[in-house]
């Protein structure tokens, strides 16, 4: 049955290629000169090579990827371009089991940074965001393995044993009865803007306690924000690899405060929606050249902000990746100053933050050199 499915897929796949014209056909010639045609498994090998290469070089690439994704969906395929479709339709890039030594090296760097910041009287918080596949309900199809949450669990335990104050959003969502998959995009590795607000409330609660400061109550109340939903607007990082038809297109929620704001990014000053986010990025829907999450939220990650209406003058240093783009907008509304950067010696000494918050997605947690330049690391 598996062989028949592979042959069927390859036939449909080749017919689809032919429909894209002579220009595309010339790009396929070298695939037929592989020397594996006589092999009983040649159709599987050929299909896999075509799928991978054409996703990056094929004429009318977007149309091809969309059609390829549609064929995968019709045939019930669970994997495309190294992206796995979970039982509930969400897309996942799986992770191998990471060696204990590798995780411990990065954990040790965080622990060293924590000790340095303690000596300087700077509050420190490490945040682990959720991973697409829920730790408590993985939805992984039969025949696939994924160690993403296992890697995160072991890393989190190392940090806690080293005395690091840890906020595991996976755990708090489970405790609060928050539906995990409602907080994640189906086609992206990022969490949603609503998940960003949820995580902000958890981060803020700890910061207020550690810094002994107040935050304007209206910033904390979700009813003080407008939510505009853009239906089928966001094709995420994994959707870009599998096309719009393999798992569909996500809605995108734009969250804006309905109260008055006065924010500066160092060069301009004005309302939140003009300074912190790029609302103009939603004027036109275009999944081929960008994806919405980064386009709308990107400024909150690349600028440093001051808030003249904040009820405190605390300075927060965010050491984060693109996951922080969904959280930063709300922190900017809460504190006197929010800066994005690395926790290296020049930044810490020049900025003198009241608190350092590290929030990294699993990809960056697993990088060997991600924390090499942080203060205290030897």
Would you say residue 375 lies in a domain?
A: no
Asked if residue 332 and residue 215 are part of one domain, the reply reads yes
Q: How far is CA 119 from the centre of its chain?
A: 32
Which two structure tokens, joined as six digits, stand for 287?
């999944």
Asked if residue 218 and residue 173 are part of one domain, the reply reads yes
Would you say residue 319 lies in a domain?
A: yes
Instruction: For 92-111, give one letter per residue: b (16+ CB within 10 A) or e.
Output: bbbbeebeeeebeebbbbbb
Domain count of the fold of the chain: 2
Would you say residue 38 lies in a domain?
A: yes
Would you say residue 206 lies in a domain?
A: yes
Would you say residue 326 lies in a domain?
A: yes
Asked if residue 59 and residue 109 are part of one domain, the reply reads no
- Mark which of 27, 43, 77 sits at the end of a domain: 77
Q: How far apart are CA 115 and CA 308, in angstroms?
A: 32
Would you say residue 294 lies in a domain?
A: yes
Would you say residue 89 lies in a domain?
A: no
**Residue of 157, 135, 159, 162 whose CA lies nearest to 147:** 135
Q: Give the pLDDT confidence of 113-169 residue by residue, as tens digits.
A: 999 999 999 999 999 999 999 999 999 999 999 999 999 999 999 999 999 999 999
Asked if residue 207 and residue 65 are part of one domain, the reply reads no
Instruction: Give this prediction's pTM.
Output: 0.85
Asked if residue 179 and residue 67 are part of one domain, the reply reads no
CB contact at 8 A, 334 and 219: yes
Asked if residue 178 and residue 55 are part of one domain, the reply reads no
pLDDT tens track, the chain, 378 positions:
555 556 666 665 556 555 554 444 444 444 444 433 333 332 333 345 555 554 444 445 676 677 677 777 777 788 888 999 999 999 999 999 999 999 999 999 999 999 999 999 999 999 999 999 999 999 999 999 999 999 999 999 999 999 999 999 999 999 999 999 999 999 999 999 999 999 999 999 999 999 999 999 999 999 999 999 999 999 989 988 898 888 899 999 999 999 999 999 999 999 999 999 998 888 877 655 457 899 899 999 888 999 999 999 999 999 999 999 999 999 999 999 999 999 999 999 999 999 999 999 999 999 999 999 999 998
Q: How far apart are CA 287 and CA 291, in angstroms?
A: 6
Q: How far apart are CA 234 and CA 293, in angstroms?
A: 7
Asked if residue 131 and residue 18 are part of one domain, the reply reads no
Asked if residue 65 and residue 115 are part of one domain, the reply reads no
Asked if residue 150 and residue 21 are part of one domain, the reply reads no
Q: Give the pLDDT confidence of 196-224 residue by residue, as tens digits.
A: 999 999 999 999 999 999 999 999 999 99
Asked if residue 227 and residue 117 are part of one domain, the reply reads yes
Q: How far apart are CA 342 and CA 125, in angstroms?
A: 14
Q: How far apart are CA 340 and CA 300, in angstroms?
A: 8
Domain containing 321 equals: 100-365
Asked if residue 227 and residue 302 are part of one domain, the reply reads yes
- Mark which of 77, 109, 130 sits at the end of a domain: 77
Please provide residue 78's backbone torsions phi and psi, each rounded to the nearest 5 degrees.
Answer: -100, -10
CA atoms within 13 A on the CB side of 31: 20
Would you say residue 310 lies in a domain?
A: yes
Asked if residue 32 and residue 172 are part of one domain, the reply reads no
């Amino acid at each position: 049955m598996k062989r028949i499915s592979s042959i069927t897929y390859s036939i449909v796949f080749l017919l689809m290629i032919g429909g894209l014209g002579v220009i595309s056909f010339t790009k396929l010639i070298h695939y037929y000169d592989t020397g594996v045609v006589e092999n009983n498994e040649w159709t599987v090998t050929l299909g896999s090579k075509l799928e991978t290469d054409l996703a990056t070089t094929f004429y009318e690439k977007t149309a091809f990827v969309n059609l390829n994704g549609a064929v995968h969906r019709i045939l019930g395929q669970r994997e495309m371009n190294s992206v796995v479709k979970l039982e509930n339709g969400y897309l996942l890039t799986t992770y191998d089991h990471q060696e204990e030594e590798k995780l411990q090296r990065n954990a040790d760097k965080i622990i060293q940074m924590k000790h340095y910041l303690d000596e300087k009287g700077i509050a420190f918080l490490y945040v682990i965001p959720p991973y697409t596949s829920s730790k408590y309900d993985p939805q992984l199809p039969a025949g696939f393995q994924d160690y993403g949450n296992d890697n995160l669990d072991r890393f989190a335990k190392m940090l806690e044993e080293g005395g690091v104050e840890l906020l595991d959003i996976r755990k708090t969502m489970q405790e609060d009865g928050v539906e995990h998959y409602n907080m994640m995009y189906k086609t992206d590795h990022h969490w949603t803007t609503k998940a960003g607000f949820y995580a902000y409330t958890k981060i803020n609660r700890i910061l207020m306690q550690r810094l002994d400061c107040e935050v304007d109550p209206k910033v904390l109340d979700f009813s003080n924000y407008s939510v505009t939903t853009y239906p089928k607007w966001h094709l995420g990082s994994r959707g870009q690899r599998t096309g719009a038809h393999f798992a569909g297109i996500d809605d995108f929620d734009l969250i804006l405060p309905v109260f008055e704001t006065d924010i500066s990014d160092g060069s301009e000053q004005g309302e939140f929606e003009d300074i912190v986010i790029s609302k103009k990025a939603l004027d036109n829907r275009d999944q081929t050249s960008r994806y919405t999450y980064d386009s709308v939220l990107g400024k909150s990650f690349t600028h440093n902000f001051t808030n003249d209406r904040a009820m405190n003058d605390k300075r927060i240093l965010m050491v984060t990746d693109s996951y922080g783009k969904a959280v930063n907008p709300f922190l900017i509304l809460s504190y006197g100053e929010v800066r994005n950067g690395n926790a290296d010696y020049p930044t810490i000494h020049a900025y003198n933050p009241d608190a350092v918050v590290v929030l990294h997605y699993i990809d960056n947690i697993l990088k060997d050199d991600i924390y090499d330049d942080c203060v205290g690391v030897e």
